[in-house]
Amino acid sequence: MAEDVLKTGTTTIGIRYKDGVVLATDQRATMSNIIAHSNVQKLYQLSDNLGMTIAGVVGDAQLMVRYMQSEIALYEMKKGAPMSVNAAATYVANAIRQGFYLGLIVGGYDKTGGHVFSIDGAGGYIEDNFMSVGSGSVFALGALQAAYKEDMSKDEAVDVAVTALNSAIKRDSASGDGMLVAYIDADGYHDVPNEEIRTRLASQGYKYPN
Protein backbone atom coordinates (compact mmCIF):
# COMPACT_ATOMS: atom_id res chain seq x y z
CA MET A 1 0.00 0.00 0.00
CA ALA A 2 1.41 3.40 -0.99
CA GLU A 3 2.68 5.61 1.81
CA ASP A 4 0.59 8.57 0.65
CA VAL A 5 -2.75 6.76 0.88
CA LEU A 6 -5.25 8.67 3.01
CA LYS A 7 -5.65 6.74 6.25
CA THR A 8 -7.64 7.18 9.41
CA GLY A 9 -4.68 6.50 11.69
CA THR A 10 -7.00 6.75 14.60
CA THR A 11 -8.55 5.79 17.89
CA THR A 12 -11.96 4.12 17.87
CA ILE A 13 -13.79 2.81 20.94
CA GLY A 14 -16.73 0.52 21.68
CA ILE A 15 -18.20 0.03 25.16
CA ARG A 16 -21.11 -2.09 26.33
CA TYR A 17 -22.98 -0.65 29.31
CA LYS A 18 -26.01 -1.78 31.28
CA ASP A 19 -28.67 -0.67 28.78
CA GLY A 20 -26.81 -0.36 25.48
CA VAL A 21 -23.50 0.52 23.82
CA VAL A 22 -21.35 3.62 23.28
CA LEU A 23 -19.22 4.15 20.16
CA ALA A 24 -16.59 6.91 19.95
CA THR A 25 -13.82 8.09 17.61
CA ASP A 26 -11.43 10.95 16.99
CA GLN A 27 -11.58 12.91 13.69
CA ARG A 28 -8.03 13.05 12.24
CA ALA A 29 -6.92 11.57 8.92
CA THR A 30 -3.25 11.26 7.92
CA MET A 31 -1.08 10.62 4.86
CA SER A 32 2.22 9.24 6.15
CA ASN A 33 3.38 11.92 8.62
CA ILE A 34 1.03 14.62 7.27
CA ILE A 35 -2.28 15.56 8.91
CA ALA A 36 -4.48 15.53 5.81
CA HIS A 37 -7.89 16.29 7.32
CA SER A 38 -9.12 17.27 10.78
CA ASN A 39 -12.87 16.75 10.47
CA VAL A 40 -13.21 13.16 9.31
CA GLN A 41 -16.32 11.07 9.88
CA LYS A 42 -15.25 7.78 11.48
CA LEU A 43 -18.51 6.93 13.25
CA TYR A 44 -21.51 5.90 11.16
CA GLN A 45 -25.09 4.91 11.79
CA LEU A 46 -25.86 1.73 9.86
CA SER A 47 -29.53 1.43 10.89
CA ASP A 48 -31.83 2.37 13.75
CA ASN A 49 -30.12 -0.16 16.03
CA LEU A 50 -26.59 -0.46 14.61
CA GLY A 51 -23.45 1.68 14.28
CA MET A 52 -19.87 1.19 13.11
CA THR A 53 -16.51 2.87 13.68
CA ILE A 54 -13.75 2.81 11.08
CA ALA A 55 -9.96 2.71 11.13
CA GLY A 56 -7.86 2.25 8.01
CA VAL A 57 -7.94 3.43 4.40
CA VAL A 58 -10.62 6.09 3.96
CA GLY A 59 -11.85 4.90 0.54
CA ASP A 60 -12.25 1.33 1.78
CA ALA A 61 -14.03 2.56 4.89
CA GLN A 62 -16.56 4.64 2.95
CA LEU A 63 -17.24 1.74 0.58
CA MET A 64 -17.78 -0.61 3.53
CA VAL A 65 -20.23 1.81 5.15
CA ARG A 66 -22.28 2.14 1.96
CA TYR A 67 -22.28 -1.63 1.45
CA MET A 68 -23.42 -2.35 5.00
CA GLN A 69 -26.12 0.31 5.00
CA SER A 70 -27.62 -1.14 1.83
CA GLU A 71 -27.31 -4.77 2.97
CA ILE A 72 -28.95 -4.02 6.31
CA ALA A 73 -31.77 -2.06 4.65
CA LEU A 74 -32.45 -4.96 2.27
CA TYR A 75 -32.36 -7.46 5.14
CA GLU A 76 -34.84 -5.44 7.18
CA MET A 77 -37.18 -5.08 4.17
CA LYS A 78 -37.15 -8.84 3.57
CA LYS A 79 -37.37 -9.95 7.21
CA GLY A 80 -39.53 -7.15 8.56
CA ALA A 81 -37.28 -6.95 11.62
CA PRO A 82 -33.98 -5.32 12.63
CA MET A 83 -30.73 -7.16 11.95
CA SER A 84 -29.08 -8.52 15.09
CA VAL A 85 -25.68 -7.15 16.12
CA ASN A 86 -24.08 -10.57 15.67
CA ALA A 87 -25.48 -10.87 12.14
CA ALA A 88 -24.19 -7.40 11.23
CA ALA A 89 -20.73 -8.25 12.56
CA THR A 90 -20.78 -11.47 10.53
CA TYR A 91 -21.71 -9.58 7.34
CA VAL A 92 -18.83 -7.13 7.89
CA ALA A 93 -16.35 -9.91 8.73
CA ASN A 94 -17.24 -11.77 5.53
CA ALA A 95 -16.98 -8.62 3.38
CA ILE A 96 -13.67 -7.44 4.83
CA ARG A 97 -11.91 -10.59 3.63
CA GLN A 98 -12.31 -9.34 0.05
CA GLY A 99 -9.31 -7.03 0.56
CA PHE A 100 -10.37 -4.08 2.69
CA TYR A 101 -7.55 -2.39 4.67
CA LEU A 102 -9.66 -1.75 7.75
CA GLY A 103 -10.12 -2.35 11.46
CA LEU A 104 -13.71 -1.89 12.55
CA ILE A 105 -16.02 -1.91 15.55
CA VAL A 106 -19.66 -2.85 15.08
CA GLY A 107 -22.00 -2.08 17.95
CA GLY A 108 -25.71 -2.06 18.51
CA TYR A 109 -28.76 -3.13 20.44
CA ASP A 110 -31.11 -6.02 19.67
CA LYS A 111 -33.54 -8.28 21.52
CA THR A 112 -30.65 -9.80 23.50
CA GLY A 113 -29.29 -6.39 24.62
CA GLY A 114 -26.23 -4.36 23.69
CA HIS A 115 -23.21 -5.88 21.93
CA VAL A 116 -19.89 -4.63 20.52
CA PHE A 117 -17.61 -6.57 18.14
CA SER A 118 -14.11 -5.76 16.90
CA ILE A 119 -13.38 -6.92 13.34
CA ASP A 120 -9.89 -7.27 11.88
CA GLY A 121 -8.66 -7.23 8.30
CA ALA A 122 -8.56 -11.03 8.10
CA GLY A 123 -12.25 -11.33 8.91
CA GLY A 124 -11.90 -12.27 12.54
CA TYR A 125 -14.55 -10.82 14.85
CA ILE A 126 -14.64 -10.89 18.63
CA GLU A 127 -17.27 -9.67 21.08
CA ASP A 128 -16.18 -8.02 24.32
CA ASN A 129 -17.40 -5.55 26.93
CA PHE A 130 -15.03 -2.84 25.71
CA MET A 131 -12.49 -2.47 22.92
CA SER A 132 -10.37 -0.01 20.99
CA VAL A 133 -9.09 -0.23 17.42
CA GLY A 134 -6.52 1.99 15.70
CA SER A 135 -3.10 3.50 16.20
CA GLY A 136 -4.06 5.07 19.52
CA SER A 137 -5.74 1.96 20.93
CA VAL A 138 -2.85 1.04 23.22
CA PHE A 139 -3.39 4.30 25.12
CA ALA A 140 -7.18 4.09 25.11
CA LEU A 141 -7.23 0.50 26.36
CA GLY A 142 -5.35 1.40 29.53
CA ALA A 143 -7.98 4.00 30.41
CA LEU A 144 -10.81 1.62 29.50
CA GLN A 145 -9.35 -1.20 31.58
CA ALA A 146 -9.06 1.07 34.61
CA ALA A 147 -12.53 2.60 34.43
CA TYR A 148 -14.86 -0.02 32.95
CA LYS A 149 -17.69 -1.50 35.03
CA GLU A 150 -20.28 -3.92 33.66
CA ASP A 151 -23.22 -2.14 35.32
CA MET A 152 -22.34 1.36 34.08
CA SER A 153 -25.07 3.79 33.12
CA LYS A 154 -25.11 5.50 29.74
CA ASP A 155 -23.67 8.70 31.20
CA GLU A 156 -20.86 6.79 32.93
CA ALA A 157 -20.05 4.94 29.70
CA VAL A 158 -19.89 8.18 27.67
CA ASP A 159 -17.57 9.68 30.29
CA VAL A 160 -15.30 6.63 30.12
CA ALA A 161 -15.26 6.80 26.31
CA VAL A 162 -14.25 10.48 26.14
CA THR A 163 -11.63 9.96 28.87
CA ALA A 164 -10.09 7.06 26.92
CA LEU A 165 -10.19 9.07 23.69
CA ASN A 166 -8.51 11.98 25.42
CA SER A 167 -5.71 9.69 26.62
CA ALA A 168 -5.08 8.46 23.08
CA ILE A 169 -5.25 11.92 21.52
CA LYS A 170 -2.64 13.24 23.93
CA ARG A 171 -0.16 10.46 23.10
CA ASP A 172 -0.86 9.26 19.53
CA SER A 173 0.08 11.72 16.80
CA ALA A 174 -2.30 10.09 14.31
CA SER A 175 -5.33 10.68 16.57
CA GLY A 176 -6.87 14.04 17.34
CA ASP A 177 -8.82 17.10 16.14
CA GLY A 178 -12.19 16.28 17.66
CA MET A 179 -14.46 13.58 18.99
CA LEU A 180 -17.57 11.82 17.72
CA VAL A 181 -19.67 9.89 20.23
CA ALA A 182 -22.97 8.01 19.91
CA TYR A 183 -24.96 5.59 22.04
CA ILE A 184 -27.42 2.91 20.98
CA ASP A 185 -30.12 1.58 23.26
CA ALA A 186 -33.66 0.20 23.09
CA ASP A 187 -34.85 3.53 21.69
CA GLY A 188 -32.36 3.55 18.80
CA TYR A 189 -29.22 5.36 17.67
CA HIS A 190 -28.36 8.71 19.28
CA ASP A 191 -25.50 11.10 18.48
CA VAL A 192 -24.03 12.89 21.51
CA PRO A 193 -23.94 16.64 20.73
CA ASN A 194 -20.51 18.22 20.46
CA GLU A 195 -21.36 20.73 23.17
CA GLU A 196 -22.15 17.90 25.58
CA ILE A 197 -18.80 16.24 24.81
CA ARG A 198 -17.02 19.52 25.57
CA THR A 199 -18.93 19.87 28.85
CA ARG A 200 -18.11 16.31 29.91
CA LEU A 201 -14.41 16.80 29.21
CA ALA A 202 -14.36 20.11 31.08
CA SER A 203 -16.00 18.50 34.11
CA GLN A 204 -13.11 16.01 34.18
CA GLY A 205 -10.50 18.76 33.88
CA TYR A 206 -9.69 18.15 30.19
CA LYS A 207 -9.69 20.57 27.28
CA TYR A 208 -11.49 19.65 24.08
CA PRO A 209 -8.86 18.48 21.55
CA ASN A 210 -7.80 21.11 19.04
Q: How confident is the model over 35-49, as pLDDT tens digits? A: 767 678 899 999 999
Output the pLDDT for position 9: 66
- What pTM does this model have? 0.91
| Alpha carbon separation from 44 to 3, 121, 133, 182 (Å, rounded) | 26, 19, 15, 9
- Stretches where the chain sits below pLDDT 70 are 1-9, 32, 34, 36, 38, 173-174, 209-210
Q: What CATH superfamily is the domain 12-203? A: Aminohydrolase, N-terminal nucleophile (Ntn) domain (3.60.20.10)
List active site positions: 10
Strand order in the sheet with 50-56: 43-47, 50-56, 102-110, 113-119, 125-127
Task: Give the 3-state secondary structure of residue 103.
Answer: strand
Give me the pLDDT at residue 52, please.
97
Nearest to 50 by CA among 90, 106, 94, 96: 106
In the prediction, which pLDDT does 67 show? 93
